[in-house]
Structure 1
Amino acid sequence: MSKHILVIDAGTTGIRALIYNEQSQILSQAYTEFPNYHPQPDRVEQDANEIWSAAKAMIAQALKHISLQMNDISCVGITNQRATTVVWDRKTGQPVTRAIVWQDTRTAGRVQELAEQWGEKVYSRTGWALAPVYSSLSLEWMLENVAGMREQAEAGDLAFGTIDSWLVYCLTGGEKHVISTSNASVTGSYDLTQDEWYQEWLAALNIPLSMFPEVCDDAAVIGLTDERIVGGSVPISGLIADQHSALFAQGCTKAGMIKCTHGTGTFLDMLIGDKPVIDVNSGICCQIAWRKNGKTHYALEGYAGCTGSAVQWLRDGLQIIDSSAESQAVASKVEDNGGVYFVPALTGLSAPYWDPYARGSMLGITPGTTRGHVVRATLEGIVYSIRDFINAMQSISGYSITQMSVDGGAAKNDLLVQFQADQLGVTVIRPRNVEATSLGAALMAGLGAGIWKSEDEAFSIGRNKQTFTPQIDEQTREQQYAMWTRAVERAQGWSK
């Protein structure tokens, strides 16, 4: 009898439900977007109930497309946007306020206040530079600014989680309050050196530890879906954060292997082994890649928070392209960027700068600048953002990067991927299916439920790939990057 794996891929802008078979093939999928709210320029919020409603609707659609019922599903895997902070009432099961999304920068001022006393200390323990992306800082803000939350939290009535926690809570009818190790390690609340919630830090922020979920393996049966809610009782056997899921899906299971995901942001992840390596001077993050069978694997990460979303801004804000996919055709109408450089710091700069006050900047505009130059500069800015931290990652890890796998929606763009090979001076490998995030969750869930007995068995299915190699010389590469560096200097600290 065929095995079916349901994957819920909860991204920053939408929900996708996919059904895989045991050959890692997608049989059905359904997708919808949900709203992001911006009550102030530095704020990005979501309604957790809208996320859950979207997830339920997409599960139903994906099942209906191939005439399956929930009880025909062998197991469920979940992958999700990271560090988005959800708080709900344990008694009612309802969110007490909107979720604060990982792109939100409202706590930038608080980061500055805490930096001298706590900056290096929390970095050395959590593996993440102190920044507004910390879920712990979002929690502190909620407790201080949302009426009644402090009292509820101190009474033990509130539960905190990331999107995986929230979806599991909803799917199990409130039975499970958990978080995967991969998600826990990117909350700015987890002590990698002690492998537990960082209690000293949370106490300093006056956040009750009772709010926090149980930490579980990324591949393991952690509960059953509630039949009354989704029409079947199915084991949930895979929970993994999106970037970690893509790393696994790309077959990066040995130290030194690396992948780059182009989504809302761009994330470069390298597996480094079974011990954390934290360099507080680098701006590079260290995190748990995943935990399977009780064994923890660690990774380094550099990320730029606003890359794919900058292309969306060309579509929705400037309205100079009709779709993100059109960016390649428009950018290809010009031979180069015409001297235009775009720093996509629409929500600040991430690694290695960690500057929440930086803002998007476009320099080098002349009377000859066209729509094509602007679009091309935006695509190139995505790649330059990666180069900003790739050297630090090589130095910390001790591994030289000569090849990387690429995935995510923007990885379909040939011009972008070729420029990535050119500017980084590496071979870039793109799989036929660039939706690696959902595949990783399917593999984790299948391993957690015993559909595959080993990683070798799970990865035995062949996948077609395309290779891009550098086409420019070193001098050109360095001249282009020097101009980018000048542009970044001008973007930094703009809104401070």
Structure 2
Amino acid sequence: MSHKLVGAIDQGTTSTRFVVFDEFGSIVTLHQIQSVQHYPHPGWVEQDPFELLDSAKACMEHAVRKLNALGYSASDIQSIGITNQRETVLVWDKLTGQPIYPAIIWSDGRTVETVQKLASSHEKGKLALQHICGLPLTTYFSAVKLRWLLDNIPEVAEAKEQDRLQFGTLDTWLIYNLTGGVNGGVVVTDVTNASRTMLMDIHTLQWSEEALQFFGIENLVLPKIVSSSEIYGTIHDGALYNIPIAGCLGDQQAALVGQKCFNQGDAKNTYGTGCFMLFNTGNKPVVSQHGLLSTVAYQFGKNSSPSYALEGSVAVAGSSISWLRDNLKLIDSVDQLNELASQVNDTAGVYFVTAFAGLFAPYWREDARGTICGLTQFTTLHHIARATLEAVCYQSRAILDAMNRESNTPLRSLKVDGGISNSDLCMQIQSDILGIHVDRPSMRESTALGSAIAAGLAVGVWKSIEDLEQVNNKGRSTFKPQINTEKREHMYHGWQEAVQRSFGWTSVV
């Protein structure tokens, strides 16, 4: 009996997974490997490019062995999708395929001075390129990190001068190596990842000469921009040899697709290492006036029209829980945080602004730093645990408020996924703070599912978006607000006061 399965490489900040789905979006099997982040200086975050690649390969091999044990064959996998942490920058030697520097991760904050220098060179400051790429100048995006590498790492500048430098985001690195590397590997990036570099014109879906000149990299050869759903190449070796790689989406766009937010006005929030809310704006980009990002949501096929989204990004979500566990040793696990937080009904006035490397949307303050306000002798670990969960929810509220100001119709329901969404307590807090329904699917690997959908559409596993109606549609949970408007606004006012107190710390010596 033949089966139509689709595989997905989900290369996130803290782990890599290979997930195999059936035609209904159910998980057949998966394998996951944790990733290691390196922090060589305060605010710096790096990873080993080969470790990221090897983890993807190892996950595929292990998942295929599990698949075989279940009675399936590797040949049942029709295609493979890739989804990845966005904005992360890699540079390697085109002649050897060897990385020249560690991967600089999306949340890395080393480029504050680079941002200031670039912003001061243009009359519009940090909005210099917003009309082209939909993004403000911040430490977040890929081109700023590339500019830092060229200015500070002699080996990178030398490779560029000698025309040996290959720049790419993580999708480019994975596809290049999985399709052969120096032996004919394909050098591409999809429109969603390209839209996060600050180098692509989101209107034309082509690299922008003006943006390249702004960053001083106009003579650098960049990856070919492709759609999110087409065959890029085939796996070069291993258990999945010759199976096509046919889908590619940045992780947050993949979650939007996995949640089937295909209609204008649909929105989702993913709670992972960071927290990312995307709002589908249809077939035209909307330039935000309230601190949000304009981005490409997806493009299904090289000749199809793209869909766009507004996005609000929170730098620290799940990583604040990791900080409590790994740095302060206050908890042993995420489950323990939930258990502690559930022992109290509120934070007793404690607010935790988790601005470890500044604040993203809608604040965009690189000078903000982590701040805990409202401590008294009454405060316990239970209150701090609850304040950690609430911090994620308050930052999501700030983004939702900005999205509501951008749109004509306020959002009434939010689809959620990601690790923290497994917490019933956190999702109830989120509903309370937002004042709207929070809708959670039973299968919450939405990011991997989104890239699988893109790959499946490319090879005909699903003929169209309409065929996806029965995909991951059962067992959804809905959380409804349980507090009144007065209490909600009182709590949120306290958060806004705490955020103000987090500003300006990088100027303190």
TM-score (ref. length: structure 2): 0.95
| 1:484 lines up with 2:484 in the alignment | no
Aligned mate of 2:132, from 125, 130, 147: 125
TM-fit CA distance, 1:72: 4.1
Aligned mate of 1:392, from 388, 399, 402: 402
- 1:296-340 CA-to-partner distances (Å, cap 9, x unmatched) read 000000011101100111111121111112221110111210111
- Aligned residue for 1:292, secondary structure, equals coil
How far apart, CA to CA, are the structure 1 residues paired with 2:26 and 2:375?
46
How far apart, CA to CA, are the structure 1 residues paired with 2:114 and 2:154?
20
TM-fit CA distance, 1:66: 2.0
CA contact (8 A) 1:344 1:360 kept: yes
CA contact (8 A) 1:69 1:231 kept: no
> Residue 281 of structure 2 aligns with which residue?
272
Matches within 5 A, 1:192-271: 192-227=202-237, 229=238, 232-271=241-280
- 1:33-90 CA-to-partner distances (Å, cap 9, x unmatched) read 1211111002111111010111111111111112166444211110110000011111
Aligned mate of 1:335, from 328, 333, 345: 345
CA contact (8 A) 2:150 2:157 kept: yes
TM-fit CA distance, 1:464: 1.5
The percent of aligned pairs where both chains have the same amino acid is 38
| 1:449 lines up with 2:459 in the alignment | yes
CA contact (8 A) 1:153 1:208 kept: no
- 1:8-54 CA-to-partner distances (Å, cap 9, x unmatched) read 00001110111112222111111111211111002111111010111
> Residue 141 of structure 1 aligns with which residue?
148
How far apart, CA to CA, are the structure 2 residues paired with 1:195 and 1:77?
21
Aligned mate of 2:91, from 84, 87, 93: 87
> Residue 187 of structure 1 aligns with which residue?
197
| 1:365 lines up with 2:375 in the alignment | yes
How far apart, CA to CA, are the structure 2 residues paired with 1:398 and 1:327?
38
AA of the residue aligned to 1:237: A
- 1:228-271 CA-to-partner distances (Å, cap 9, x unmatched) read x5551011110011111111111110000111110001111000
How far apart, CA to CA, are the structure 2 residues paired with 1:55 and 1:161?
17
Which stretch has the larger CA shift, 83-92 or 453-462? 453-462
| 1:99 lines up with 2:103 in the alignment | yes
| 1:471 lines up with 2:482 in the alignment | yes
CA contact (8 A) 1:342 1:378 kept: yes
Matches within 5 A, 1:374-389: 374-389=384-399
TM-fit CA distance, 1:208: 4.2
Which stretch has the larger CA shift, 382-391 or 185-194? 185-194
**How many residues were matched structurally?**
494
AA of the residue aligned to 1:239: C
AA of the residue aligned to 2:66: H
> Residue 159 of structure 2 aligns with which residue?
152
How far apart, CA to CA, are the structure 2 residues paired with 1:435 and 1:231?
22
CA contact (8 A) 2:281 2:308 kept: yes
Unaligned runs of 5+ in 1: none
| 1:495 lines up with 2:492 in the alignment | no
TM-fit CA distance, 1:151: 2.7
How far apart, CA to CA, are the structure 1 residues paired with 2:106 and 2:13?
9
- 1:132-160 CA-to-partner distances (Å, cap 9, x unmatched) read 01211111111122123223213321211
How far apart, CA to CA, are the structure 2 residues paired with 1:231 and 1:453?
23
CA contact (8 A) 1:409 1:435 kept: no
> Residue 443 of structure 2 aligns with which residue?
433
How far apart, CA to CA, are the structure 1 residues paired with 2:359 and 2:251?
20
CA contact (8 A) 1:219 1:448 kept: yes
TM-fit CA distance, 1:387: 1.2
> Residue 114 of structure 1 aligns with which residue?
118
- 1:472-494 CA-to-partner distances (Å, cap 9, x unmatched) read 11110111111111100000121
How far apart, CA to CA, are the structure 2 residues paired with 1:493 and 1:223?
48
> Residue 20 of structure 2 aligns with which residue?
19
Matches within 5 A, 1:270-309: 270-279=279-288, 281-293=289-301, 294-309=304-319
Which stretch has the larger CA shift, 204-213 or 390-399? 204-213
CA contact (8 A) 1:42 1:105 kept: yes
AA of the residue aligned to 2:260: G
AA of the residue aligned to 2:462: W
- 1:339-389 CA-to-partner distances (Å, cap 9, x unmatched) read 110001112100111111211100111111111000000100111011112
> Residue 418 of structure 1 aligns with which residue?
428
How far apart, CA to CA, are the structure 2 residues paired with 1:193 and 1:492?
34
How far apart, CA to CA, are the structure 2 residues paired with 1:328 and 1:209?
51
TM-fit CA distance, 1:113: 2.2
CA contact (8 A) 1:71 1:233 kept: no
TM-score (ref. length: structure 1): 0.97
TM-fit CA distance, 1:390: 1.4
AA of the residue aligned to 2:280: L
AA of the residue aligned to 1:247: L
| 1:170 lines up with 2:177 in the alignment | yes
How far apart, CA to CA, are the structure 2 residues paired with 1:399 and 1:24?
31
How far apart, CA to CA, are the structure 2 residues paired with 1:209 and 1:77?
31
Aligned mate of 1:316, from 308, 314, 326: 326
Query: What's the RMSD between the two structures over aligned residues?
Result: 1.4
How far apart, CA to CA, are the structure 2 residues paired with 1:171 and 1:89?
16
| 1:161 lines up with 2:168 in the alignment | yes
- 1:155-203 CA-to-partner distances (Å, cap 9, x unmatched) read 3212111111111011100220000111111112212134321222222
